[in-house]
Amino acid sequence: MPTLLIDIQDVTTQPIKGDTVTLTAPAPRPATGGGVTRPFSRLVNLVDGKGSTEVDPGPLRVMFHDGYGREVVIDTRVPDEGDVFTLRELIVSEIGDVDDVPGIREALDGKADKEHTHPATDILGLSATLDSLGEEIAGKAPAEHSHEIADVDGLQAELDDKAEKYHQHQTSDIEGLNRTLESLRTDIGSAASAKHTHAIGDVTGLQGALDGKANKAHNHNIGEIKDLIWSLDQKVSISDLAESTRQYASEKIAELVDGAPESLDTLREVAEEFKNQDRAIQAVFSELGKRAMKSHTHAIGDVTGLQGALDGKVNVSDVTDSLSAVSYGKVVKREDGGLAIRAGEPEQAYHAATKRYVDGEVAKKADKSALENLTVLTGASGDGWIASRRGSVVTLRIDRLQTGPSADLLPASMRPTIQTFIPVSDLGGNPSARAAVNPGGTVTGSDIASIAFGVATYVV
């Protein structure tokens, strides 16, 4: 069913007083869904002259109601096709112009323009009201006005009874002031001056309090200070402390020197000696290379002439216990015709030695392979260090090393497997000085004030 939109001002171009419109279907007609639509009449309420309602296609009569009981009727038609229509569209499509609608123009002519004015005479009672207001205003003063003193009743008399804003008074004009001032003068006469002094005797109890005090400059005996003697007894005398300190220092120095000769009883002298003993140490290492280990052995063939000597000896199995009394080294014929010799340790160069004795003596000698290893000595030197290796033992001597890494690296065959620290003596006297060598072969000095010397041994 189509929807009709109603806007009175859209139809008349001017608002028409009234808030309702009556829609009427004046004759029966076919309905949209079949059947017949009977005549009907419907009242539509408007808000500000606007409203909407559903209508059936066909003839439609619209009746406008104004505020004076008059009605304007417009006949139009709702098209069969379409969903939404405005009342203006229906009217224009049917009559084409407002003047063609009976009564519309007359209704419009009876209306004033939207923007218009009125003379005062058009407003009922306005002239009379204005005349009355004019008479009242004539008897009033302007909004901004002034008055003379005489215009204010009693004002002059009140002003005459007042003093000037700036004025003076005699002390007698103020009740009781003279009496108060006289009392103050009496009190002031008996009071001390603002700046004054007192004798000690004028201050109650002051002399007694002063007598109980000591002079600013005074002395005390030890016994007058509570617990001072006891506290002093708990202290060590300076002389005893100095003697204990000297004794302790002497003991520690003696432990450090440990019987060293006078030429080597200071760290500086020891460091200088290290520097001067470079060749001596090398000579010691060279001599050690010529020596066998304390514990080593020899094969019979390593002992010159031993095998021949053994071949010329009697086997131990041929010696009997019955010959224990025979002199050492004397071979005798046994009763069964065999030879026998006394067993034991040789005492003379011509005495024969048993195999047990020889094996024991051989066991006391160094192993030949160990001796061969010790005889291999390699050496190297660099900025601040001298190193030597014998077998798997490396001796690293610090020689005039300064703070920071050395410019030269240790040979790969002499580098330690872990970082190794080396105690050093600093000619600059810094006890915190030290040196270290890392697995990369870098020798580094730390906290060395001058140059340092020292030695360390490690296994590679």
User: pLDDT per residue over 355-377, tens digit each?
Assistant: 677 777 766 654 555 444 444 56
What is the average pLDDT across 269-274? 67
Asked if 331 contacts 318 with a C-beta cutoff of 8 angstroms, the reply is: no
What is the average pLDDT across 248-263? 71
Q: Is the pLDDT of residue 139 over 60?
A: yes
Among candidate residues 185, 186, 6, the one with its CA nearest the CA of residue 88: 6
Q: Is the pLDDT of residue 436 over 90?
A: yes
Confidence bin at 350 (pLDDT 50/70/90): very low
Would you state the pLDDT for residue 44? 86
φ and ψ of 453, to 5 deg: -135, 150
Percentage of the chain exceeding pLDDT 70: 69
Q: What is residue 54's three-state secondary structure?
A: strand
Among candidate residues 75, 66, 70, the one with its CA nearest the CA of residue 100: 75
The pTM (predicted TM-score) of the whole model is 0.24
Mean pLDDT of the chain: 76
Provide the CA 66 distance to its chain's centre, in angstroms.
84
Q: Which of 290-299, 342-351, 424-433 has the highest mean pLDDT?
A: 424-433
Q: Is the pLDDT of residue 231 over 90?
A: no
* DSSP structural state of residue 47: B
* Range in 273-287, 337-351, 369-383 with the lowest mean pLDDT: 337-351
How many Cβ atoms sit within 10 Å of the Cβ of residue 149? Answer: 8
Would you state the pLDDT for residue 251? 79
Q: What is the Cα–Cα distance from 9 to 286, expressed in whole angstroms?
A: 134
Among candidate residues 390, 391, 395, 375, the one with its CA nearest the CA of residue 290: 375
Asked if 391 contacts 376 with a C-beta cutoff of 8 angstroms, the reply is: yes
Asked if 339 contacts 333 with a C-beta cutoff of 8 angstroms, the reply is: yes
In angstroms and rounded to an integer, the radius of gyration of the C-alpha atoms of the chain is 73
Would you state the pLDDT for residue 375? 44
Task: Name the pairing type of β-strands 36-37 and 377-382.
Answer: unpaired
Q: Which residues are within 8 A (CB) of 420 and not within 5 positions of it... i.e. 6 or more apart?
A: 396, 436, 437, 456, 458
Among candidate residues 376, 398, 370, the one with its CA nearest the CA of residue 385: 398
Would you state the pLDDT for residue 367? 52
Long-range contacts of 254-262 (CB under 8 A, 24+ apart): none
Q: Is the pLDDT of residue 379 over 70?
A: yes
Would you state the pLDDT for residue 430? 92
Q: Is the pLDDT of residue 330 over 70?
A: no
- Please report the beta strands in 293-419, taking only residues with DSSP state E, as ranges in sequence order: 332-333, 339-340, 377-382, 385-390, 393-401, 404-409
Q: What is residue 332's three-state secondary structure?
A: strand
- In terms of pLDDT, which residue wins out, 238 or 88? 88
Would you state the pLDDT for residue 15? 64
Question: pLDDT tens digits for 110-136?
Answer: 777 768 888 878 788 888 888 888 788
217-241 burial, b if ≥16 CB within 10 A, otherwise e?
eeeeeeeeeeeeeeeeeeeeeeeee
- Please report the beta strands in 66-180, taking only residues with DSSP state E, as ranges in sequence order: 71-78, 84-86
Among candidate residues 452, 415, 417, the one with its CA nearest the CA of residue 432: 452
Q: Is the pLDDT of residue 352 over 60?
A: no
Q: What is residue 72's three-state secondary structure?
A: strand
Would you state the pLDDT for residue 448? 93
Provide the CA 25 distance to its chain's centre, in angstroms.
89
Going from the C-alpha of 215 to that of each of 211, 212, 381, the distances in angstroms are 10, 10, 80
* Range in 1-10, 147-156, 173-182, 301-310 with the lowest mean pLDDT: 301-310
Confidence bin at 413 (pLDDT 50/70/90): very high
Q: Is the pLDDT of residue 79 over 50?
A: yes
Question: pLDDT tens digits for 175-207?
Answer: 888 888 888 888 777 777 777 888 888 889 888
Confidence bin at 102 (pLDDT 50/70/90): low
Would you state the pLDDT for residue 452? 93
Would you state the pLDDT for residue 279? 58
Q: Which of 21-30, 287-296, 306-315 has the highest mean pLDDT?
A: 21-30
What is the average pLDDT across 66-89? 79
Q: Is the pLDDT of residue 294 over 60?
A: no
Question: pLDDT tens digits for 5-43?
Answer: 888 777 776 666 667 888 887 767 666 666 766 777 888
Q: What is the Cα–Cα distance from 413 to 396, expressed in whole angstroms?
A: 13
What is the average pLDDT across 152-161? 88
